[in-house]
């Protein structure tokens, strides 16, 4: 089994299935380069409603069989017939993928909401229970965690004062204040505990830009009886427009000092990228100092920013060392064991 080294935090890379053949070719080349960093796992997302199911499985197959790495495959279950889930799990077992990120999933393009198809799944908990019932402990299952609350539960605050806890995760957008209420946040933790109790081995968080939110979320998880590793998902600031769209869509809390600084350089692309690297380095340092077991990088199918952050922190493997570490994950096994 592949395990985290307490003396040196692990790193993991997440990718999404490209839309073009050239994009797929480019991604395979990136797999070949980035595997030399000896990641704990390489993670591939699953399109809404199974729209990328065949490509996601194929990418994970190549990660496992061609590039000798541990694949962690996303699997969403809503808007998708049970037969498609069954096929994905059967294919995964056959080709040696033993790690599944069990998710509800977003609605397919053009739909405002999601829905369970007849005979299908209503939520990620259903999927976790189903995988365990069909395959026992064959798959290592991870699930999503939302330190600020799920975006669907982050709502505008009207005619009331925020509690002390709510203030730590509130977000201001367009002069309005939004927050996942204390009651909704508790229900989120209740649900997360159900997923873990049903068989999830670790949690990967939604992106965040306030590290205090992650620290409090970890403490709240422990107080709630959730004792599996909570791996922080690191989203990097690459360009102003993308950052604003992403944080707006997810209702992500952005510390005022970050927001203010970004506004002063938003028209300078190079300055924004440099700030993104600087912010990523500080974020990762703060997370590791707080006890994060490792770092899950949302790469957006790119590598330069991730490498710059890793290099500044002494986590990047030099080319000379990379050759010696080739296939290290393969000999260690294909299940992920991320220790807290």
DSSP collapsed to 3 states, the chain: CEECECCECEEEEEECCCCCHHHHHHHHHHHHHHHHHCCCCEEECCCHHHCCHHHHHHHHHHHHHCCCCCEEEEEECCCCCHHHHHHHHHHHHHHCCCEEEEECCCCCCCCCCCCCCCCCCCCHHHHHHHHHHHHCCCCEEEEEECCCCCHHHEEECCCCCCCHHHHCCCEEECCEEEEECHHHHHHHHHHHHHHHHHCEEEEEECCCCCHHHHHHHHHHHHHCCCCCCEECEEECCCCHHHHHHHHHHHCCCCCHHHHHHHHHHCCCHHHHHHHHHHHHHHHHHHHHHCCCCEEEEECCCCCHHHHHHHHHCCCCCCHHHHHHHCCHHHHHCCCEECCC
Cβ-in-10-Å burial (0-12, 13-18, 19+) of 134 comes to middle
Cα 310 from Cα 89, distance rounded (Å): 33
Q: Which of 14, 148, 166, 188 is catalytic?
A: 14
**Can 328 be counted among the known catalytic residues?**
no
CA-to-CA distance for 141 and 31, rounded, in angstroms?
Answer: 23
Distance CA 92, CA 81 (A): 17
Rounded to 5 degrees, φ, ψ at 282 are -65, -40
Catalytic sites, residue numbers: 14
């Amino acid at each position: 089994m592949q395990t985290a080294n307490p003396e040196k935090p692990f790193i993991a890379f997440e990718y999404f299935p490209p839309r073009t053949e050239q994009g797929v070719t480019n991604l395979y080349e990136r797999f070949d380069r980035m595997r030399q960093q000896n990641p704990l796992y390489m993670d591939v997302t699953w399109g809404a409603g199974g729209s990328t199911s065949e490509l996601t499985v194929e990418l994970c197959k190549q990660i496992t069989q061609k590039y000798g790495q541990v694949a962690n495959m996303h699997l969403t279950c809503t808007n998708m017939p049970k037969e498609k889930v069954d096929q994905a799990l059967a294919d995964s077992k056959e080709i040696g993928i033993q790690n599944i990120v069990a998710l509800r999933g977003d609605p397919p393009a053009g739909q405002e909401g999601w829905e369970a198809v007849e005979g299908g799944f209503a939520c990620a908990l259903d999927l976790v229970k189903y995988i365990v019932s069909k395959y026992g402990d064959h798959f290592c299952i991870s699930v999503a965690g939302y330190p600020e609350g799920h975006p669907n539960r982050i709502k505008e605050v009207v005619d009331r004062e925020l509690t002390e806890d709510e203030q730590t995760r509130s977000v201001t957008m367009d002069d309005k204040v939004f927050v996942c209420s204390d009651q909704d946040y508790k229900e989120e933790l209740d649900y997360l505990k159900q997923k873990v109790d049903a068989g999830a081995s670790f949690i990967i968080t939604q992106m965040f830009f306030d590290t205090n939110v992650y620290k409090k979320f970890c403490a709240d998880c422990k107080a709630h009886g959730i004792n599996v590793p909570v791996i922080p998902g690191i989203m990097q600031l690459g360009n102003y427009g993308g950052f604003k769209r992403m944080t707006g869509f997810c209702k992500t809390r952005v510390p005022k000092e970050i927001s203010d600084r970004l506004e002063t350089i938003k028209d300078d692309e190079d300055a924004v990228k440099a700030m993104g690297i600087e912010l990523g380095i500080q974020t990762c340092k703060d997370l590791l100092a707080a006890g994060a077991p490792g770092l899950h990088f949302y790469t957006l199918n790119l590598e330069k920013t991730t490498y710059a952050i890793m290099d500044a922190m002494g986590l990047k493997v030099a080319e000379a060392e990379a050759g010696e570490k080739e296939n290290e994950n393969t000999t260690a096994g294909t299940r992920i064991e991320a220790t807290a």
